[in-house]
Amino acid sequence: MRRCAWPLPRLAARAGLVLRHGGGAPPPRLAAAAALRPAASSSAAAGGGGSRAPDTSLFVPVPLKPADGAPGEDVGAELTRPLDKGEVLKSLNKFYKRKEIQRLGADNGLDARLFHQAFISFRKYIMESSSVSADLHIILNDICCDAGHVDDLFPFFLRHAKQIFPMLDCMDDLRKISDLRLPPNWYPEARAIQRKIIFHAGPTNSGKTYHAIQRFLSAKSGIYCGPLKLLAHEIFQKSNHANVPCDLVTGEERVYANEDARQATHIACTIEMCSTNTPYEVAVIDEIQMIRDPARGWAWTRALLGLCAEEIHVCGEAAAIELVTELMYTTGEEVEVRNYERLTPLTVLDYALESLDNLRPGDCIVCFSKNDIYSVSRQIEARGLECAVIYGSLPPGTKLEQAKKFNDPDDPCKILVATDAIGMGLNLCIKRIIFNSIIKPTINEKGEKEIDLITTSQALQISGRAGRYGSSFKQGEVTTMHRDDLAQLKEILSEPVRPVKAAGLHPTAEQIEMFAYHLPDATLSNLIDIFVSLSQVDGLYFVCNIDDFKFLADMIQHIPLNLRSRYVFCTAPLNRKEPFVCTTLLKFARQFSRNEPLTFDWLCRHTKWPLAPPKNIKELVHLEAVHDVFDLYLWLSYRFMDMFPDAVLVRDIQKKLDDIIQIGVCNITRLIRASQSTAASGAAVAVSEEFPLSRTKRDTRLMSDLQGAKSTVQLPTAMEAPEERRVKSLKAYRSAARREDLKTHGRGSLADRLLREGLLTQEMLRELESEWQVQHRNGRYGPSSKRDDQNSSKETGKKKK
């Protein structure tokens, strides 16, 4: 019998492990194996340093091919003899079942899941390799000949496990990189100066932004950071009108105040775009409560901790004072709080609007779906009234035009129909806000539709648009469209506002790059997952939702890109529910990876530019997506100028497209009619719920749960705890909705099917019902043919118009 000539310590050393031989008793193998615990480092599973154990389900094994040595190169077989694979299999299975080995695995970072996966891979590797390394061969041979113990396999097993799970070997480094406990230290420039923080706190329309902007305008240099392009635009215009040259900077746009494109001393930007390296005298951070936004909160945290300004003016809801003060305590900076009161009264009316016949100039109807926007605006125009329309996915130019039209006292358009896209900081000439509904449909992470009551903060922010100081309406009013909703709205508005508890954080490109250095085989999406699972944050912070990032990372994973470029592509602001925009990103990335510049001609071919004004809603929605594609191009052009060289031309056609979309929006009721007749004739679905809910990523973020604002609204005092009331109301609403659903579902009516398929909204249904009633009354539905019915309904439509 040929015997193993190599002592265990040498083998272990080859396996890259430190062995401390116990000698004598206890039996050397286990004592040696027990000593395999890596000194101090990577006691990962145990969660070294008190940190939580990693989520090992995220550890994707790196595949290892079985060794395929050339014949005659099996040194192990030469030294001993060829392996009996049947015996080897038995020994391996015995090894796997040993409790001591499992414990040892756990000590080395292999929890049950990793242990199992590593073993399956180890066994497969040995069984499928035509030859294994000489040292392993000898040990296996010894075990099969009863001259060795299965425990002797452990060093080889661990070496294999670390090959397929490389994170096990660098857990401490990974933990260090993903340690997000001291974000203030990420901004050395800001820490090098003493900043003064002034918090302008108060309800909506109390002059918070106004006062901060007064200081911004009087400073030698300043930066305004806002949540919306429209707000950045408002400050950009205000500043330039006040003869303080100010640039506009958004992800997709740079507008220079100076003709020679020299940077102005003042900048108005969307918050994600603010620079943390440029020194300013004054910085304004607007809508600070957004710091707790699950997706965008990190941008406020970064601005608050990182802006290099002598004075930082923070504007927002009082609910964020405590958090900002605590954050500034960690930077050693004091916060001065200036409180404001609402400048004009806001009253919740005791009556609902009930009918669009009761509309008055200055009314704004707030809907939570684009379908409702279409339906309501059509009914308004049917009454001979003109209305402006604003919803999230409209291009900024169109939104501005619509707002201008509504604000213009000389324009006949006196009614606004909008989604909650208007619900933050914007100044519009609204007298009365009418909630068309107080429930809001959203799409959850699984892509399922959900509905929920609006939150107190959403209700306050939206209501706060009424009676803006300086507008033609000195008092604001709030009510609902339907009588049943009014009590509920009052209840929602009367609830106290939850304080903002934590600030968002996002891993930086550098951190992810360092992770990738340690885990070169992991996909970007997997790197991010492991980062988040290992990351440690202190109680004042949370890690933002990175689903959009991961979605894009998975989408372009197969395209060969360096990590930096890949990271940039994944941070592109697009709505993942817009297939056309996603496909375009994919095409951009593919062509980018081939080093072929994305030219204007290419983009025109891809988007079929030039495009005609829309003939129906479906075409309008497509144009909005094309606008987003142009936005994407422009966004990328600021990051990869050489590869996206035609920004000027693209900006030009984007402006033209904005005009075309405006024509569509002005003709919106005509488009709705066209869409409805297409749908009725059984052709493509034009007004589908898919479209109304597919807001841009930016808008989705804007509409995410805002924290409540203080309000001067006189509201009924509540006896119950707000949370209880809220749960109760929601329950009441849901059971009512269920009853309603059962009622209609039981009937299995066409209306129900159309509602469920999104072809019909409740609004449309109401409208149809009243039309039918009129027709019945007029005796139109006699025993006539189907064709007659269609004609008569068309006629009614015309008459209504």
Ligand X SMILES: Nc1ncnc2c1ncn2[C@@H]1O[C@H](COP(=O)(O)OP(=O)(O)OP(=O)(O)O)[C@@H](O)[C@H]1O
Contact between residue 393 and residue 436 where contact means Cβ atoms under 8 Å apart:
no
Query: Using CB distances below 5 to 8 A depending on partner kind, what does residue 239 bind out of Mg ion, ligand X, none?
Result: none
**In angstroms, what is the minimal distance from the CB of 475 to ligand X?**
14
Q: Are strands 476-480 and 335-339 parallel, antiparallel or unpaired?
A: unpaired
x/- string (CB under 6 A) for ligand X, residues 379-418?
Answer: ----------------------------------------
457 is an interface residue for ligand X by CB under 6 A: no
Query: Using CB distances below 5 to 8 A depending on partner kind, what does residue 133 bind out of Mg ion, ligand X, none?
Result: none
638 is an interface residue for ligand X by CB under 6 A: no
Query: Using CB distances below 5 to 8 A depending on partner kind, what does residue 188 bind out of ligand X, Mg ion, none?
Result: none
Query: Using CB distances below 5 to 8 A depending on partner kind, what does residue 109 bind out of ligand X, Mg ion, none?
Result: none
470 is an interface residue for ligand X by CB under 6 A: yes
Q: Which stretch binds ligand X (CB under 6 A): 248-256, 462-470, 628-636, 713-721?
A: 462-470
Cis preceding linkage at 26, omega within 30: yes
Count of CA atoms in the C-beta half-sphere (13 A) of 426: 23
**In angstroms, what is the minimal distance from the CB of 236 to ligand X?**
15
Count of CA atoms in the C-beta half-sphere (13 A) of 275: 10
Q: How far apart are CA 130 and CA 127, in angstroms?
A: 8
Contact between residue 393 and residue 658 where contact means Cβ atoms under 8 Å apart:
no
Q: Are strands 476-480 and 503-505 parallel, antiparallel or unpaired?
A: unpaired
204 is an interface residue for ligand X by CB under 6 A: yes
Q: Which residues pair with 250 in a beta bridge?
A: 253
Q: Which helix (H) or strand (E) holds 483?
A: helix 483-494
Q: How far apart are CA 451 and CA 117, in angstroms?
A: 41
Q: Which residues contact 405 (CB under 8 A, 6 or more apart)?
A: 388, 411, 413
**In angstroms, what is the minimal distance from the CB of 227 to ligand X?**
10
Query: Using CB distances below 5 to 8 A depending on partner kind, what does residue 210 bind out of ligand X, Mg ion, none?
Result: ligand X
Q: Which stretch binds ligand X (CB under 6 A): 138-146, 152-160, 203-211, 721-729?
A: 203-211
431 is an interface residue for ligand X by CB under 6 A: no
Q: Which residues contact 756 (CB under 8 A, 6 or more apart)?
A: none
209 is an interface residue for Mg ion by CB under 5 A: yes
Taking each helix axis as running N to C, give the angle between helix 668-680 and helix 370-382, from 0 to 180 degrees, rounded to the nearest 10. Answer: 110
**In angstroms, what is the minimal distance from the CB of 325 to ligand X?**
20
User: What is the number of other CB atoms lying within 10 angstroms of the CB of residue 253?
Assistant: 21
User: Of the two residues 41 and 344, which places its CB atom closer to ligand X in the complex?
Assistant: 344
Interface residue with ligand X among 464, 476, 664, 708 (CB under 6 A) is 464
Q: Are strands 439-443 and 449-453 parallel, antiparallel or unpaired?
A: antiparallel
**In angstroms, what is the minimal distance from the CB of 390 to ligand X?**
16
467 is an interface residue for ligand X by CB under 6 A: no
Q: How far apart are CA 423 and CA 704, in angstroms?
A: 11
CA dihedral 389, 393, 398, 400 (to 10 degrees): 80
**In angstroms, what is the minimal distance from the CB of 425 to Mg ion?**
4
Q: What DSSP line would sit under 1-14, residue for residue? A: -----S-HHHHHHH
207 is an interface residue for ligand X by CB under 6 A: yes
Q: How far apart are CA 593 and CA 753, in angstroms?
A: 46
427 is an interface residue for ligand X by CB under 6 A: yes
Closest CA to 711 of 319, 213, 417: 319
CA dihedral 627, 629, 631, 634 (to 10 degrees): -130
User: Of the two residues 213 and 519, which places its CB atom closer to Mg ion in the complex?
Assistant: 213
User: Of the two residues 212 and 582, which places its CB atom closer to Mg ion in the complex?
Assistant: 212
| Binding residues with Mg ion: total (CB under 5 A) | 2
Helices (H), 571-616: 579-593, 600-607
Contact between residue 413 and residue 405 where contact means Cβ atoms under 8 Å apart:
yes
306 is an interface residue for Mg ion by CB under 5 A: no
CA 433 to chain centre: 28
423 is an interface residue for ligand X by CB under 6 A: no
User: Of the two residues 232 and 570, which places its CB atom closer to ligand X in the complex?
Assistant: 232
Interface residue with Mg ion among 202, 297, 425, 507 (CB under 5 A) is 425
**In angstroms, what is the minimal distance from the CB of 231 to Mg ion?**
8
**In angstroms, what is the minimal distance from the CB of 470 to ligand X?**
4
DSSP letter at 221 equals: S
425 is an interface residue for ligand X by CB under 6 A: yes
Query: Using CB distances below 5 to 8 A depending on partner kind, what does residue 470 bind out of Mg ion, ligand X, none?
Result: ligand X
**In angstroms, what is the minimal distance from the CB of 317 to ligand X?**
8
List b or e across 258-285, with b for residues whose CB sees 16 or more CB atoms inside 10 angstroms. eeeeeebbbbbbbbbbbeeeeebbbbbb
Tokens of 422: 């208007």
Q: Which stretch binds ligand X (CB under 6 A): 161-169, 208-216, 293-301, 696-704?
A: 208-216
**In angstroms, what is the minimal distance from the CB of 463 to ligand X?**
10
x/- string (CB under 5 A) for Mg ion, residues 261-300?
Answer: ----------------------------------------
Give the footprint of ligand X on residues 338-367 (CB under 6 A).
Answer: 343
Tokens of 131: 């030859």
**In angstroms, what is the minimal distance from the CB of 193 to Mg ion?**
26
User: Of the two residues 28 and 207, which places its CB atom closer to ligand X in the complex?
Assistant: 207
Q: How far apart are CA 107 and CA 38, in angstroms?
A: 9
| Binding residues with ligand X: total (CB under 6 A) | 16
707 is an interface residue for ligand X by CB under 6 A: no
**In angstroms, what is the minimal distance from the CB of 376 to ligand X?**
24
469 is an interface residue for ligand X by CB under 6 A: yes
End-to-end CA distance of the chain: 101
Q: How far apart are CA 137 and CA 74, in angstroms?
A: 9
Q: How far apart are CA 644 and CA 627, in angstroms?
A: 16
User: Of the two residues 28 and 464, which places its CB atom closer to ligand X in the complex?
Assistant: 464
**In angstroms, what is the minimal distance from the CB of 226 to Mg ion?**
9
206 is an interface residue for ligand X by CB under 6 A: yes
473 is an interface residue for ligand X by CB under 6 A: no
Phi, psi for residue 434 in degrees, rounded to 5: -120, 115
Query: Using CB distances below 5 to 8 A depending on partner kind, what does residue 427 bind out of Mg ion, ligand X, none?
Result: ligand X
User: What is the number of other CB atoms lying within 10 angstroms of the CB of residue 297?
Assistant: 26
289 is an interface residue for ligand X by CB under 6 A: no
Q: Which residues contact 176 (CB under 8 A, 6 or more apart)?
A: none
**In angstroms, what is the minimal distance from the CB of 418 to ligand X?**
15
x/- string (CB under 6 A) for ligand X, residues 742-771?
Answer: ------------------------------
In terms of residues, how long is the chain?
801
Interface residue with ligand X among 80, 91, 131, 209 (CB under 6 A) is 209
Closest CA to 590 of 561, 548, 611: 561
Query: Using CB distances below 5 to 8 A depending on partner kind, what does residue 602 bind out of Mg ion, ligand X, none?
Result: none
Closest CA to 282 of 210, 198, 205, 339: 198
The amino acid occupying position 731 is K
User: Of the two residues 408 and 724, which places its CB atom closer to ligand X in the complex?
Assistant: 408
Looking up tokens 């500043």 gives 239
User: Of the two residues 306 and 425, which places its CB atom closer to Mg ion in the complex?
Assistant: 425
Q: Which residues pair with 47 in a beta bridge?
A: none
Interface residue with ligand X among 162, 208, 292, 302 (CB under 6 A) is 208
Query: Using CB distances below 5 to 8 A depending on partner kind, what does residue 207 bind out of Mg ion, ligand X, none?
Result: ligand X
205 is an interface residue for ligand X by CB under 6 A: yes
* Residues in contact with ligand X by the rule CB under 6 A: 202, 204-210, 315, 343, 425, 427, 464, 468-470
* Residues in contact with Mg ion by the rule CB under 5 A: 209, 425
